[in-house]
Copies of this chain bind each other. A is one copy, B any other.
Amino acid sequence: MSGIVVRNIERSALDRLAPLGEAGVATVHEALGRIGLMASYLRPIYPGASIVGNAVTVTVAPGDNTTIHVAVELCQEGDVIVIAPTSPCEDGYFGDLFGGALNARGVRGVILEAGCRDVRSLKEMGFPVWSKAVFAQGTVKETMGDVNLPLVCAGQRVEPGDAIVADDDGVLVVPRARIDEARDAAAARIEKEERNRLRFASGEVGLDVYGMRERLIAKGLTYYDDAGAYANRKRT
């Protein structure tokens, strides 16, 4: 199963993806029904980065970055490389040489279920990585994985060409077939959240904004004036 490379994948036009990046991970995730969120142990190597792009998928052997080298020349403007080791590993698969080469090709960033190094240089060149660890331990070049086959990264299935959204809140996979749906749903959600924000700003609370109050009382929500009232109530 290793050593397979699919050269060309179906990508989405970057202007179709852009609204997902503007909406951000939390909003798109909600809008699409809470699917596709990678595990919280993937963290950005520096705060403030926010990207969206087309997934190029790469599996790597533990401690071996061969397949990332194979993937580089297949990348295009607007891609995001998603890298998953075939067994858990936190070695530093990715550093500033890769970052520079990918930056030059217009790659937006890297999602890496392993370790990243040269984090200061990567920050200086503005090339963001979401990784499981920061670890300088280098890798060898002996064993191949695959490029552009489906994989599982940080708990989520990723198909080549899926949209990847990543920011300070984490990393989200949007299936390629649902990108427009995600964009529209995110727009609707943002509009709704704006309306709610105004209501909250005017002093309303979620119990009323979301119509929860009656339902909770029906379920048994009970108010006591103070701790004394609650204590006395219990004794009855």
Chain A residues in the interface with B (C-beta under 8 A): 1-9, 24-26, 29-30, 33-35, 37, 39-40, 43, 46-48, 50, 61-64, 66, 68-70, 72-73, 86-92, 95, 97-98, 100-101, 104, 115, 117-120, 133-138, 140-144, 148-150, 152, 155-157, 160, 167-170, 172, 193, 196-197, 200-201, 203, 205-207, 210, 212, 216, 219-227, 229-230
Can you give 6 contacting A-B residue pairs, CB < 8 Å? Answer: A6-B225, A7-B224, A26-B117, A97-B197, A100-B201, A104-B201
Contacts of A98 in B (CB 8 A): 206
Given contacts A9-B227, A62-B63, A63-B86, 17 further A-B contacts (CB under 8 A): A2-B220, A6-B226, A24-B120, A25-B117, A34-B137, A40-B88, A40-B135, A63-B63, A63-B87, A63-B89, A69-B205, A69-B206, A72-B206, A86-B137, A88-B89, A89-B89, A118-B169
Known: A87-B90, A90-B40, A227-B6. A142 touches B144 (CB 8 A): no
Q: Is the CB of A172 within 8 A of B136?
A: yes
CB distance from A148 to the nearest CB of B (A): 8
Q: Is the CB of A196 within 8 A of B62?
A: no
